[in-house]
Amino acid sequence: MKLVTYKTKSNQYLIGVMQYPNIIELTSYLQKACNPVGNMVELLRELESNKTLFSELNQYIQSTKNFIPLTEVELQAPLLRPGKIVALGRNYADHAKETGVQPFEKPRIISKFPSSITGPNTIIHTPPGVTKLDFEIELAVVIGRRAKNISRDQALNYVAGYTILNDVSAREFQFDISPPQTTFAKSMDGFCPLGPYILTADELTNPQELELNLWLNGELMQHGNTRDMLFPVDFQIEYISTFTTLEPGDIIATGTPAGIGAFRNPPVWLKPGDEVKLSIAYLDALTNTIA
C-alpha cells in the first residue's frame, strides 16, 4: 500500500493510496469506519489501536471505484508534521571515510525539526546568507507503533513503512562555526523533502537490500545500498527506543552513503535552478528544485 497525502484543487488536504496513475481517496471512508482521521499521523495511530483497520482498508481499496487522477491533485509530503525526526550521522562506512573519521562504535544521533518538512516537486529556498547548501539521500523509516525498549529481533514489527528523505544541510552551520550547529544546519525551512509516498512495511520486508541514487541536474552524485549501513534499521530502533519512546508517525532518517557535495574536490554546493532527484528501490523518486 502506497499511502499519500495530497491537496485538492479546492485546497483540501486528504489521505489516499496511490495506484498509478490514480489515487484512491481514503479520508471519507475513514470518517465512517473509525475515529475521525484528518492526517497521516492520526491514521497511523488509528492503525495501531484498531487491529482490523489495515485489512478493512485493503478490502475497500480492492473494491472501490473512487479513483482520482494524479494529474488533478498535488502530492504533499506523506507526513506533513511528524512528531519527531531522529537522524543518524555517518551511518555508512564510505561516508564516514570521506569525512575523515573512523566508523562509530555506536550510532551518532542528531535530529531535524518537523517544521523543515516539504513535499515532492517543491522549491527549496536557500536561506539568506547560506552559500554551502548540500544534499543527502536517506531511507526514512516511519514508525507505526509506540516503541520503548524494543529488542532488535522485534524492531521491524514497529515499522509502518518507508519513504525517501533528502537531508538538506547548510554546511557552514555544521562545519565552519564553533560550536557546530548540526541540528540547526539541517532544520531550516524546506530542508526535509519527503515522499512521494509511504510504502507500507508488508510490501517491503527487508530494508537492508535497497539501492539508493541521487542525481544533481542529471549527474549521478550518490550511489549506495542500505546493506552497507553500519547500524541496520532494526538496530537503530532498538538503540533509539532504549532512550527515547518512538511513536506512530515518528521518522528515523537512517544516514547517507558517500558522495555528498561537501567532501567533493572541489566541493559542490546547491545553487538556484538546480534539480535534485533521489531514488530508492521500490520507493519511486523524490524531486525538488533549488531557488
Tens digits of per-residue pLDDT, 108-167?
999 999 999 999 999 999 999 999 999 999 999 999 999 999 999 999 999 999 999 999
pTM above 0.95, yes or no: yes
pLDDT at residue 33 greater than cutoff 80: no
- What is the helix (H) or strand (E) element at residue 237, kind and residue range? helix 233-243
Give domain limits for the chain: 2-75, 85-290
Q: What percent of the chain has pLDDT over 70?
A: 100
Shortest CA distance to 39 belongs to which of 270, 244, 249?
Answer: 249
The answer to whether 282 and 197 have CB atoms below 8 angstroms apart is no
Rounded mean pLDDT, 44-64: 95
pLDDT at 170: 98
Q: What percent of the chain has pLDDT over 90?
A: 91
What gap in Å lies between CA 64 and CA 80, rounded to an integer?
26
End-to-end CA distance of the chain: 33
Shortest CA distance to 91 belongs to which of 188, 264, 207, 198?
Answer: 207
CATH number of 85-290: 3.90.850.10
- Cite the beta strand spans of the chain per DSSP E: 2-7, 13-19, 22-25, 67-69, 74-75, 85-89, 108-112, 117-118, 123-124, 133-134, 137-143, 159-166, 169-170, 192-200, 211-216, 219-225, 251-253, 275-280, 285-290
All 3 cell numbers of residue 163? 519513504
The answer to whether 78 and 118 have CB atoms below 8 angstroms apart is no
Q: Packing angle between helix 53-63 and helix 40-49, nearest 10 degrees?
A: 120
Shortest CA distance to 186 belongs to which of 90, 115, 257, 279?
Answer: 115
